[in-house]
Amino acid sequence: MKAQNDYDRCLDTMYALGRFGIVLGLSTMETILENLGNPHKDFKSIHVAGTNGKGSVASSIAHILHGAGYKTGLYTSPHLVSFNERITINNVNISNDEVIEAFYAVEAANTGERSATFFEISTAMAFYMFSKKKVDFAIIETGMGGRLDATNIISPVLSIVTNISLEHKSYLGSTLAEIAGEKAGIIKHKAPVISAATQDSVISVIRKTAQETSSPFYLYRHNFKVRRGKEAGVFTYYGIHATWHNVRTRLLGRHQVDNAALALAASELLMAHAPLLNEQNIRKGLESTTWAGRLEIISQNPMTLVDGAHNLMSIHTLSQYLKETFSGKKITLVTGILDDKAYSAMFKCLLPLCCRVVLTRAKTERSIDPNTLLPVARALCADATVIDDIPEAIRFAESKSAGDDVICISGSLYVVGEAKAFFNERAKK
């Protein structure tokens, strides 16, 4: 009981820091990490930035490296159900006791002029734990942007910029080129960089940054590419140095083949630092990759899937998957949106595919009141209902759905997290 109380107290203290918002800059991280003995210098790191796909790519690389025999850390955000999900070692969440230990170590080191934010604390905790557990490699996902992100204290052996769209404009800039400049800030001297960017203005910024840092630059569809097979998730990879046929990812959606291509290109380049990597364990690692909350089927009869799509780019991807996979099926959408999202454009893309929408909201002050969403939703889908509570919204959707219908829960990772917690609790009964 004492350990649980300590764990809860640590998380309560950290979550309370959220009210101070987001502060970009590295000086506070530098102080904390110096006080901790610079744990981020004790392992090789891979840095992943971008708008969408960061988690899938990072998780794939972690599974590949672990499968090859390397002790591997993975730091991602946000979590869905438990804070521990943010920090994994060999694809296993750290324990509550390890959360407590890492928090107290970082709290004692938090002596700078400005107290650390929630994200800075959790990032330092990850570095502390990766060092203590003596990981060989750590895959680090940025929180926001890149150049001034708390994670950008590392000197990675490889940088990845997945793709870029307009997001967090008040922090990162109002144009794609400005946002690209922030994301490209993770590129370090002579460390290779991989990207799946498609816009000329974005590619130009990343290429220029790579040239300025003497970093080899590899662009998806130019320096490496894929050809999809007839079976979903199966493809041929035409790589930087190798060609691999009949590669498979178990992650759902056409976009996951694109993410897999980035992970495979990363694996090719990591062979210089990880001699145990070979085609066989790269294939096995990719195929073993899971990534919770992204086109994840969590229940049957009716089939229920959750997807953390929360911006226009990811909503387009979700819509494409629903259209291709569930054509002719009745789809009920359970959705809640955060206050910085273009919900009208998101709804125009997704709601025409649905026969019913249930508007809800996650337990965060950033959630939009679903009654605000209702007029926009009703203009696109006549059967629109507001149910604030997520478990109640899910139960309502189930009551209105036949066994061969589909329920899709999306709009925010916070909504997906609460949905997964609901299904987890119900499974225990």
CATH of the domain at 19: 3.40.1190.10
CA-CA distance, 38 to 154, in Å (whole number)?
10
Taking alpha carbons only, the member of 21, 22, 26, 54 closest to residue 152 is 26
Per-position DSSP letters for 93-144, written without gaps between them = EPPHHHHHHHHHHHHHH--SSSPPPHHHHHHHHHHHHHHHTT-SEEEEE-SS
254 and 367 belong to one structural domain: no
420 and 317 belong to one structural domain: yes
Summarised one tens digit per residue, pLDDT across range 275-315 is 999 999 999 999 999 999 999 999 999 999 999 988 888 99
220 and 79 belong to one structural domain: yes
DSSP secondary structure letter of residue 395 = H
67 Cβ neighbours under 8 A, 6+ residues apart: 281, 284, 285, 288
User: Residue 95 has which token pair?
Assistant: 């324990």
267 and 232 belong to one structural domain: yes
CATH of the domain at 351: 3.90.190.20
250 and 345 belong to one structural domain: no
365 and 385 belong to one structural domain: yes
Summarised one tens digit per residue, pLDDT across range 7-61 is 999 999 998 886 556 777 899 999 999 999 999 999 999 999 998 899 999 999 9
Burial per residue of 309-345, b for 16 or more beta-carbon CB atoms within 10 angstroms, e otherwise: bbbbbbbbbbbebbeeebeeebbbbbbbbbeebebee
What is the Cα 333 distance to its own chain's centre?
22
Number of domains in the chain: 2
Write out the residue range of the structural domain in which residue 319 sits: 296-428
200 and 309 belong to one structural domain: no
Binned at pLDDT 50, 70 and 90, residue 5 comes out as confident
Predicted structure pTM score: 0.93
Instruction: Read off the amino acid at residue 189.
Output: H
312 Cβ neighbours under 8 A, 6+ residues apart: 165, 342, 345, 346, 349
Q: Is the dihedral of CA 80, 122, 291, 309 positive or negative?
A: positive
* Bridge partners for 234 per DSSP: 248
174 and 311 belong to one structural domain: no
